[in-house]
């Protein structure tokens, strides 16, 4: 992923603003430390901060069409770019970038190109072949990448876009998080939805629960395909491994796929030895050829590397070590202290650009871990975000009054991922120029998993009372656990103690003292007097705890405007289901329930 900043309809002399917008984009250069680029058009400026993962040597942005009339700035990855390139034989590709294919797709399909893209992306495309020049902007279906749109009362004709809020706050007095699955068109100043899967509707409260029985083989195969496509990389990659179910499943699949890729690469090199087309020979259409015979080969290490973090002796560190030993990854377990985490929180909030308590709690260890990973030379990692929303895996889901409510909450949580876990995964890692990819949010996997009868996803308040035919507890995320409780090649995906481990939220799993330490610190730094006046200071989204007050105070020190505060979304537990007000998983009554499983 990268960082983009764009302004359209800024006036007839945008060149005069070039240096200022480059300076604004520098605020997000952590997202793209490898190169910076700028395109100045007739009324527009596009700035790009590049993190080179695919097309490393030739993919600098903004990308420009051969005739110089279309410019493109993209943050993200297009996983099906090889197939899409083949559908555009008339276009002369200039780079190996997976994102360049957006230009010929625009020429063929206009803004209807967006549903064709399989990936995580935010982009701004400038078309100066028309008068007045036109801009379209879009964001991936779930909002894995970040994108903000802004407007300025001092320059009412202009529209702004940026990967991070901090690039817009000086110019814009109205800022919104660009909606996932939408495309903006300057021709009619419209923002319309292009992502319309079968499980989606305008209002989650109107969604009717599906009735499809779970096809466990299809679940498994679709998730495996999602992981495989996300191994597209020309730089070393790894996996985040907390030892929980979700990250462990992704790691297990990644190990298998990495081994297959390494074997295929060895065989391909043997087959091509002495017969490979000379580099000087180019295709008939004059475009830049891709490396290899059909696609850019992922760069793999001899063994997959995995990474975890926690307080010394934390549940996640112990579970991650066990999973890594079973999978055969080269594992790196890092520790941090509560004080180190507290010291980092102002930086974390500056990067996150939100004051949501749950997001800050979970992002801090991820932020610290990302710094360690980047220091090892890794640029991309796979992560397990999304599973809990898709399958109702958070422990509070046990309180859902019925299957319809359970499904509606799943849909609502998936729709809101861009305000929470996707934001955390994107910004905590990109703070250090590390790209996180999330296979659970693959479009094809979502289509399968979100259309499963919610009765099959529900779990009991007392899981001991419900066992399947093999004596397995019908616990949270039972169907995805069961889908991988097999060994089609003779080797299990995971040990039982990991596959059937109870849900532990990341901010809890790194060590229970972490959240407790945040709460204690907030009590020390927020006076009773200040807390009593919190509604006077913040009448909107008023903090309800000293921890929330402390976080909001730090946020305001970086982003003092109402426009900035309006983009933050707080997650509120389901009080109408009888849930505790604290968002920690430990606040749910069944957290300490025993599932009758012995540790192996």
Q: Catalytic residues, which ones?
A: 2
| CA–CA separation, 15 and 37 (whole Å) | 14
Please give the Cα distance from 371 to 354 (Å, whole number): 20
Which residues are within 8 A (CB) of 248 and not within 5 positions of it... i.e. 6 or more apart?
A: 241, 242, 319, 323, 384, 494, 498, 499
Measured distance CA(442)–CA(141) in Å, rounded = 9
Show the DSSP H helices in 188-314 as ranges. Answer: 216-229, 245-272
3-state secondary structure of 241: coil
Exposed/middle/buried for residue 453 (C-beta within 10 Å: 0-12, 13-18, 19+): middle
Q: Are 37 and 64 in contact (CB under 8 A)?
A: no
DSSP three-state, residue 4: strand
CB contact at 8 A, 177 and 147: yes
61 burial class (0-12, 13-18, 19+ CB within 10 angstroms)?
buried
486 token code pair: 């097999």
- Reduced to 3 states (helix: H, G, I; strand: E, B; else coil), residue 586 is helix
Upper half-sphere CA count for residue 213 (Cβ side, 13 Å)? 1
Q: Report how far residue 115's alpha carbon sits from residue 486's, in angstroms, rounded to the nearest whole number.
A: 34
The 3-class secondary structure across 39-53, one letter per residue, is: EECCCEEEEEEECCC
Q: What count of other Cβ atoms lies within 10 Å of the Cβ of residue 462?
A: 11
Token readout for 537 is: 């200071």
Q: Which residues pair with 7 in a beta bridge?
A: 45, 160
At 29, list the tokens.
């250069």
| Residue of 292, 297, 284, 289 lying closest to 94 (CA atoms) | 289
């Amino acid at each position: 992923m990268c960082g983009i900043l764009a302004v359209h309809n800024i006036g007839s002399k945008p060149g005069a603003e070039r240096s200022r917008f480059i300076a604004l984009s520098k605020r997000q250069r952590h997202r793209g430390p490898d190169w910076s680029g700028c395109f100045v058009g007739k009324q527009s400026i596009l700035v790009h901060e590049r993190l080179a993962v695919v097309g490393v040597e030739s993919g600098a942005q903004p990308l420009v069409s051969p005739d110089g009339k279309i410019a493109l700035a993209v943050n993200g990855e297009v996983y099906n770019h090889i197939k899409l390139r083949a559908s555009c034989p008339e276009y002369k590709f200039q780079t190996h970038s997976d994102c360049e294919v957006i230009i010929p797709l625009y020429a063929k399909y206009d803004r209807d190109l967006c549903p064709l893209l399989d990936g995580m992306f935010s982009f701004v495309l400038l078309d100066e072949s028309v008068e007045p020049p036109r801009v379209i902007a879009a964001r991936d279906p779930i909002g894995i990448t970040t994108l903000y749109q802004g407007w300025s009362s001092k320059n009412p004709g202009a529209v702004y876009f940026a990967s991070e809020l901090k690039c817009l706050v000086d110019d814009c007095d109205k800022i919104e998080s660009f909606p996932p699955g939408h495309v903006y068109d300057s021709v009619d100043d419209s923002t319309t939805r292009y992502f319309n899967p079968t499980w989606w509707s305008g209002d989650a409260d109107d969604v009717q629960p599906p009735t499809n029985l779970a096809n466990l083989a299809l679940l498994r195969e679709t998730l495996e395909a999602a992981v495989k496509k996300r191994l597209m990389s020309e730089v070393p990659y790894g996996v985040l491994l907390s030892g929980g179910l979700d990250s462990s499943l992704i790691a297990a699949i990644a190990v298998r796929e990495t081994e297959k890729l390494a074997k295929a690469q060895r065989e391909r090199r043997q087959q091509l030895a002495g017969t490979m087309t000379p580099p000087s020979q180019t295709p008939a259409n004059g475009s830049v050829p891709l490396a290899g015979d059909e696609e850019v080969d992922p760069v793999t290490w001899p063994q997959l590397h995995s990474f975890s973090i926690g307080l010394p002796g934390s549940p996640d560190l112990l579970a991650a070590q066990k999973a890594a030993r079973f999978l055969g990854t080269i594992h790196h377990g890092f520790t941090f202290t509560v004080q180190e985490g507290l010291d980092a929180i102002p930086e974390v909030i500056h990067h996150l650009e939100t004051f949501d308590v749950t997001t800050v709690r979970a992002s801090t260890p991820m932020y610290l871990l990302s710094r360690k990973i980047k220091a090892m030379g890794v640029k991309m990692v796979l992560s397990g975000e999304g599973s809990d929303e898709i399958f109702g895996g958070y422990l509070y889901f046990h309180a859902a009054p019925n299957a319809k409510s359970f499904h509606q909450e799943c849909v609502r949580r998936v729709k809101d991922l861009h305000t929470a876990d996707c934001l955390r995964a994107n910004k905590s890692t990109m703070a250090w120029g590390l790209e996180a990819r999330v296979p659970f949010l693959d479009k094809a996997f979502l289509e399968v998993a979100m259309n499963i009868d919610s009765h099959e996803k529900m779990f009991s308040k007392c899981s001991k009372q419900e066992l399947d035919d093999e004596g397995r507890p019908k616990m949270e995320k039972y169907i995805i656990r069961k889908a991988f409780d097999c060994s089609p090649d003779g080797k299990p995906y995971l040990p039982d103690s990991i596959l059937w481990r109870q849900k532990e939220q990341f901010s809890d799993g790194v060590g229970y003292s972490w959240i407790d330490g945040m709460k204690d610190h907030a009590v020390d730094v927020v006076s009773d007097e200040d807390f009593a006046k919190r509604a006077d200071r913040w009448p909107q989204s008023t903090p309800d705890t000293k921890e929330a007050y402390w976080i909001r105070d730090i946020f305001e020190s970086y982003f003092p405007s109402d426009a900035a505060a309006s983009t933050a979304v707080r997650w509120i537990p389901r009080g109408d289901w009888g849930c505790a007000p604290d968002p920690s998983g430990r606040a749910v009554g069944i957290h300490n329930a025993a599932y009758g499983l012995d540790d192996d």
